[in-house]
Amino acid sequence: MIEIKEDWEFNVLGIYNFKKPGRFDALFKFIKDNHDKLPGDIVESGVFRGNSLIAIGMFLKQIGSDKKVFGFDSFSGFPAIFQPQDELSQFERMSKENLIDNNHINAVRKNVEWKKSLTKEESSKDISTSGSFSNTNIELVERKIKLVGLDNIVLVKGPFSETMNSKTEIESIMAVVMDSDLYQSYLDTFKFVWPRLAYGGMVYLDEYYSLKFPGAKIASDEFLRDKNARLEMMTQQTGEFQRWYAIKEIER
């Protein structure tokens, strides 16, 4: 593996800099503390251009772990069909039901207002600064993996509904990065990873308190409602929205 030291190098390559504080702090600490204690590999749903996926692969090499990272993505952007749970109006409903706090709904409203003023867009399909996430392809991510010299990343291309099944070689999972934005994508991922997730394993919920994708929280709450899981918020970075993760606990 090629060692990358400087922040500008991470930026040029489009790789998350795990060597400085950031939004994945809890995830990387969990991997460091548990890679030699918990069985299974790591799964990421929603790879896009490999920003966090490749960082995890590099970090595993750095700490001497032989675990693999499996990256699931269509590598073609958002699906054609959106669920009602992904509509931005869901934030208003969640606010009325006290599922999100006042600071959050006010930030959501401001985000939508500014986005509409600049681009005339105000739906979850294009509210992200990355648009529909179609600005990627599997060849790009493969080139980046080869460039940094990693052999511990497996890319799985296609819709989650088709690729997350019993045919995959993944038998056990230690940690999951759920970065797939949408209601159905979150549900598909949960249904696949949860039975394979080791007790004590982590599911990092990147959009659980997002300003853009209400479906992620709706799907997470629905799925985890009858599961023995512990939801926790990580230390909030300045200027960031809340980041949450779930720990799978032993059933009593």
Hey, what are 228's tokens?
A: 């023995």
Element (H, E) at 154: strand 153-157
What is the pLDDT, as a whole number, of residue 235?
A: 76
pLDDT of residue 244: 94
The residue type at 158: G
Is the pLDDT reported for residue 57 higher than 60? yes
* pLDDT at position 130: 47
Task: Decide: helix, strand or coil at residue 160.
Answer: helix
Tokens linked to 196: 């394979």
**Separation of alpha carbons 66 and 45, rounded Å:** 20
In DSSP terms, 70 is beta-bridged to 43, 154
pLDDT band at 234 (very low <50, low <70, confident <90, very high): confident
Architecture of domain 7-79+134-248: 3-Layer(aba) Sandwich (3.40)
Q: What is the pLDDT of residue 123?
A: 57
Strands 153-157 and 229-233: unpaired
Closest to 168 (Cα-Cα) out of 47, 77, 45:
45
Residue with tokens 């090499």: 61
8 Å CB contact between 194 and 205:
no
- What is the edge-to-edge ordering of all strands in the sheet holding 41-45? 153-157, 69-73, 41-45, 173-178, 197-205, 244-248, 229-233
pLDDT interval class at 252 (50, 70, 90): low
Torsion angles phi and psi, residue 198, rounded to 5: -65, 150
pLDDT of amino acid 240: 74
Mean pLDDT of the 55-73 span: 97
Single pTM value for the model = 0.90
Find tokens 């390559």 and name the residue.
13
pLDDT (tens digit per residue) in 105-146: 999 999 888 888 877 655 555 554 444 455 678 999 999 999
